[in-house]
């Protein structure tokens, strides 16, 4: 069997089927180089036209319908759900339903149980009747796969809020963990920052176990309505899973005997921790899930909806809403203006836009204003390190990230600013902070140092996505590339990063991509970094990467990789429908490796030229970004613009790093 365009699962498609619907690219009449130059100009004009007046760029950040469903469930829980918002959200959710009645977590992906349950419940809130054809088909599919009992923990927490699941049948999460010192296993700083921000408020929710009156029953989602909460069997005691399952049972017993005063004090401490981390815009961490759970937790602790903290938090949620022309309302899990702006700046500069172009200078001014100059949670592990990083979002001073900081420095070096001293100071702070955030193995994670504890992922509570932040090849590569540009290619810290990257190469020549899909992204990040740091194109690691990229190139000339490569690398590594962003990543690696005149590059450039739209943009329904590998996927709507422009610009103009050094 093959994977079908409607997302049904199957065996690996043959190479021709893995390619996109675009037919094989024929030679461009005007010649590939001339056509690429023309496409570069059109893409440049398009991207310049999308800049905000304040200097930033931001594309939509599309994830899946659980964001929309949980937004409605939150509003139902707090008593603030209104009909207009509900119907707009329902319009979007219905539009994402697949032909088999399910919802997927990425375009073309298989139906996913928890997402389908949450979408179904949201549509019930919107008034869709369970016997309607689209609802009956969904509920039957849910029952066939084990019903609510087989859903992830987070889904069952949402259902427990309304009595559709029993709290006592959920993993225990005691608020007393707020007191664990950082050297104790499973302290909150052992979790990645996104998980930490979610877990702290959920300890309050777990302790309080609230139940709001359910607006309707959900018997149709249980395989046996008479036994809605079946007991799950324990794993063997000698396994990690079995040990942590038994620990959870012990915590359930402890709940009954834990000192009430200690529990109340722990919840108050959790509330203080939450409030201290609320951003100026009212959100938490610049991402939607922690904001949702923080609002529930604070409300349970007595904060009414008119309290300034609650009011600001609720107002911040509306800023995650994207209203579409048809009246549908999509919720972004996060917003990416810093990331989008630095990538857009790099793309435009590499495409030949003058370094002192007013729009690039405006972008640099905006990025300079976004630098974070106060400590955040990262300073728990690096208390003596001065701040100086950049975050991903508009407001997220507590959690700057290493990846954004590296790319912002790369972007700023491409701009000829009228106040170069200010730029140099900002870059100096960013470089110092990134160097200080190097993990002990020589590599870099996204937000924290040495966030590699093996225990958090073992908790029964953590059954959805990655909850730690270990170093990754793509982040490390971006830091190495930035350090090389700053003249630190031979610094011992940079060399340790390079050695780690070389050791992490897969046997087939690719690199794993933690924050982008997947081996194409990892390879497209690492090869340019290695070459920038002085590794020659003839190096065996670079040659293996080139061979792999040539091997996985699609018949149509593009590159693509399905998210299933995270779950089944053997079948899906480097395989999937051609996309603009992934084709660009492959080209960026090949160009850096000195393959500009190769047939693979010519065919890849021709694919980008042939698939460009009249307005200079590209279309890309496929998800090529990653939140949690396999579990949470992202379609960055600006990726399809910035990365093709970067690749074409480097093909047309060559040596972007040399140009950037000259502008600095």
| Residues designated catalytic | 403
- Spatial strand order of the sheet with 625-628 comes to 61-62, 632-636, 625-628
Q: Is 444 helix (H, G, I), strand (E, B) or coil?
A: coil
CA angle 281, 287, 288 (to 5 degrees): 95
Q: Which of 101, 114, 297, 47 is nearest to 197 (CA)?
A: 297
Distance of CA 356 to the CA centre of its chain: 32
**Alpha-carbon distance 477 to 39, whole Å?**
28
Do 415 and 364 form a contact (C-beta atoms < 8 A)? yes
Burial bucket for residue 22 (CB in 10 Å: 0-12, 13-18, 19+): middle
Q: Which of 437, 572, 438 is nearest to 501 (CA)?
A: 438
What is the SS3 assignment for 13-57? CCHHHHCCCCCCCCCCCCCHHHHHHHHHHHHHHHHHHCCCCCCCC
**Alpha-carbon distance 336 to 638, whole Å?**
10
What ranges in 335-472 are assigned the alpha helix state H? Answer: 337-350, 358-369, 402-412, 420-436
- Around 626, how many Cα atoms within 13 Å sit in the side-chain half-sphere? 27
The 10 Å Cβ neighbour count of residue 232 is 11
Question: Distance of CA 273 to CAs 178, 184, 277, 393, 426, Å?
Answer: 9, 18, 7, 21, 29
Exposure string (b/e) for 75-94, b if CB count within 10 Å is 16 or more? bbbeeebeeebbebbbbbbb
């Amino acid at each position: 069997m093959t994977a079908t365009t409607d997302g049904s699962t199957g065996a690996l498609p043959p190479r021709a089927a893995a390619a996109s619907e675009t037919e094989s690219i024929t030679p461009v009449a005007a010649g590939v180089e001339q056509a690429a130059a023309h496409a570069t100009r059109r893409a440049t004009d398009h991207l310049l036209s999308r800049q905000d007046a304040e200097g930033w760029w931001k594309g939509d950040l599309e994830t899946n319908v659980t964001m929309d469903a949980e937004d409605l469930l939150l509003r139902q829980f707090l008593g603030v759900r209104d009909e207009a918002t509900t119907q707009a959200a329902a319009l979007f959710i219905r539009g994402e339903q697949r032909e088999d009645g399910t919802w997927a977590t990425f375009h073309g992906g298989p139906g996913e149980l928890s997402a389908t349950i949450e979408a179904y419940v949201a549509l019930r809130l919107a008034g869709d009747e369970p016997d309607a054809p689209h609802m009956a088909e969904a509920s039957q599919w849910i029952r066939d796969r084990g019903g609510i009992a087989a859903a992830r923990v987070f889904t069952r927490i949402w259902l427990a809020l309304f009595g559709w699941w029993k709290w006592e049948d959920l993993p225990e999460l005691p608020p007393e963990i707020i007191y664990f010192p950082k050297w104790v296993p499973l302290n909150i700083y052992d979790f990645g920052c996104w998980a930490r921000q979610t877990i702290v408020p959920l300890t309050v929710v777990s302790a309080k176990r609230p139940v709001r009156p359910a607006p309707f029953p959900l018997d149709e989602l249980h395989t046996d309505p008479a036994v809605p909460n079946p007991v799950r069997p324990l794993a063997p005691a000698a396994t990690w899973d079995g040990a942590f399952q038994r620990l959870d049972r012990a915590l359930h017993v402890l709940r009954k005997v834990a000192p009430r005063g200690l529990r109340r004090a722990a919840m108050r401490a959790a509330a203080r921790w939450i409030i201290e981390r609320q951003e100026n815009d009212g959100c938490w961490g610049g991402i939607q899930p922690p904001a949702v759970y923080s609002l529930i937790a604070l409300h349970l602790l007595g904060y009414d909806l008119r309290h300034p903290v609650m009011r600001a938090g609720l107002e911040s949620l509306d800023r995650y809403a994207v209203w579409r022309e048809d009246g549908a309302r999509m919720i972004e899990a996060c917003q990416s203006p810093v990331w989008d702006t630095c990538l857009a700046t790099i793309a435009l500069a590499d495409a030949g836009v003058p370094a002192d172009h007013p729009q690039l200078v405006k972008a640099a001014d905006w990025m300079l204003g976004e630098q974070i100059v106060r400590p955040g949670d990262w300073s728990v592990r690096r208390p003596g390190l001065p701040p100086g990083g950049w975050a991903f979002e508009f407001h997220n001073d507590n959690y700057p990230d290493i990846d954004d900081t590296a790319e912002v420095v790369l972007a700023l070096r491409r701009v000829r600013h009228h106040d170069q001293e200010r730029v140099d100071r900002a870059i100096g702070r960013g470089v110092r902070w990134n160097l200080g955030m190097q993990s002990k193995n020589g590599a870099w994670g996204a937000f924290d140092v040495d966030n590699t504890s093996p225990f958090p992922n073992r908790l029964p509570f953590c059954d959805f996505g990655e909850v730690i932040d270990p170093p990754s090849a793509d982040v490390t590569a971006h830091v190495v590339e930035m350090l090389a540009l700053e003249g630190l290619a031979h610094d011992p810290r940079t060399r340790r990063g390079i050695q780690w990257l070389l050791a992490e190469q897969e046997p087939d020549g690719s690199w794993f991509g933690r924050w982008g899909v997947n081996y194409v992204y990892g390879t497209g990040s690492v090869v340019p970094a290695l070459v920038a740091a002085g590794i020659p194109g003839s190096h065996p690691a670079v040659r293996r990467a080139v061979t792999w990229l040539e091997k996985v190139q699609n018949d149509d000339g593009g590159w693509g990789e399905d998210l299933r490569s995270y779950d089944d690398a053997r079948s899906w590594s480097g395989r999937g429908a051609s996309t603009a962003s992934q084709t660009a990543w492959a080209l960026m690696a090949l160009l850096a490796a000195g393959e500009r005149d190769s047939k693979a590059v010519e065919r890849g450039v021709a694919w980008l030229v042939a698939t460009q739209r009249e307005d200079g943009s590209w279309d890309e329904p496929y998800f090529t970004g990653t939140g949690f590998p396999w579990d949470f996927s992202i379609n960055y709507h600006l990726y399809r613009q910035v990365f093709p422009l970067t690749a074409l610009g480097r093909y047309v103009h060559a040596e972007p790093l040399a140009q950037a050094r000259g502008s600095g």
